[in-house]
Amino acid sequence: GKTIINIFFEASTRTRTSFEIAGKRLSADTVNISASTSAVVKGETLEDTAKNLEAMHPDIIVMRHGHSGAPHYLAERCGFSVVNAGDGAHEHPSQALLDLMTIRQEKGTISGLTVAIVGDIAHSRVARSNIYALKKMGATVRLAGPRTLLPTEIERLGAEVYTDMNAALDGADVVMMLRIQQERQGKALLPSNREYSRFYGLNPDNLKR
């Protein structure tokens, strides 16, 4: 009997479809809104969009947005519940929950494991949510990537930071590979994809570590 509105301001296949199917399986009425077909293209602000949706009395809004903090901004100003389906390069909580569930299914536990996350850490919302969640569940987190793709002061989140991928993989229980988020990079941060793959690509040899 609940009404869930999925509103996505960025392209999505897996996340939007997963939320839609989950809502339907729980007998909720689900409505999908794409920013490209909404009043946003006519200049409507995020807050105006939220107020219009609030007038329709939804129970939950599932939102993906390109700006960090947009779901929090919405939740503070409206009376419905807001689920963050990814906000800019900030966080992606539902993906982290899925990753932790997968690790637990395969390993039986999360506490005590060493998890290596490799790739474009600086622009990955998935990485940030996973760092918080894995640390909360008692795992050791290692981050590996070229310096240009490692955010400054990332150590403050409690993760170990490496620029040598092999060192990060040595003794790791789980390896999580991140794609290069070229759409979020304001300039070229790598000499070439081939060179990146040479140093940070996963192959049978370094996987044995």
Which amino acid is located at 45 in the chain? T
Average pLDDT, the chain: 89
Which amino acid is located at 112 in the chain? G
- Match domain 93-207 to its CATH number in 3.40.50.1370, 3.30.70.980, 3.40.50.1860, 1.20.1260.10: 3.40.50.1370
Which amino acid is located at 42 in the chain? K
Strand stretches in the chain, DSSP E: 3-8, 29-34, 60-65, 81-87, 114-118, 140-144, 160-162, 174-177
Smallest CA-to-CA distance from 91 within 119, 50, 133 is with 133
What the block records as the tokens of 71 is 């779901």
The rounded distance, in Å, linking the Cα atoms of 23 and 30 is 6
Q: Of all residues in the chain, what percent carry a pLDDT higher than 70?
A: 93
Q: Do domains 3-87 and 93-207 have the same CATH topology?
A: yes
Residue 34 has pLDDT above 60, yes or no: yes
The three-class DSSP label of residue 176 is: strand
Residues serving a catalytic function are 14-15, 42, 64, 92
Q: What pTM, to 2 d.p., does this model score?
A: 0.85
What the block records as the tokens of 64 is 């993906």
The answer to whether 151 and 114 have CB atoms below 8 angstroms apart is no
Residue 186 has pLDDT above 60, yes or no: no
- For 82-119, what is each residue's pLDDT tens digit? 999 999 889 999 999 999 999 999 999 999 999 999 99
> Which CA distances in Å does 6 have to 22, 44, 91, 100, 207?
12, 18, 17, 23, 38
Q: What is the pLDDT of residue 142?
A: 97
Tokens 């200049």 sit at which residue?
A: 43
Residue 190 has pLDDT above 90, yes or no: no
The lowest-confidence range among 31-35, 36-40, 92-96 is: 36-40
Indicate the domain borders of the chain. Answer: 3-87, 93-207
The three-class DSSP label of residue 189 is: coil
More confident residue, 149 or 28: 28
Residues 6+ apart with CB under 8 A from 191: none
CATH architecture of 3-87: 3-Layer(aba) Sandwich (3.40)
Residue 68 has pLDDT above 70, yes or no: yes
Which amino acid is located at 205 in the chain? D
Average pLDDT over residues 147-171: 90
Q: Of all residues in the chain, what percent carry a pLDDT higher than 90?
A: 62
The answer for 124, left when phi > 0, alpha when psi is -120 to 50, beta otherwise, is beta
Q: What is the pLDDT of residue 192?
A: 65
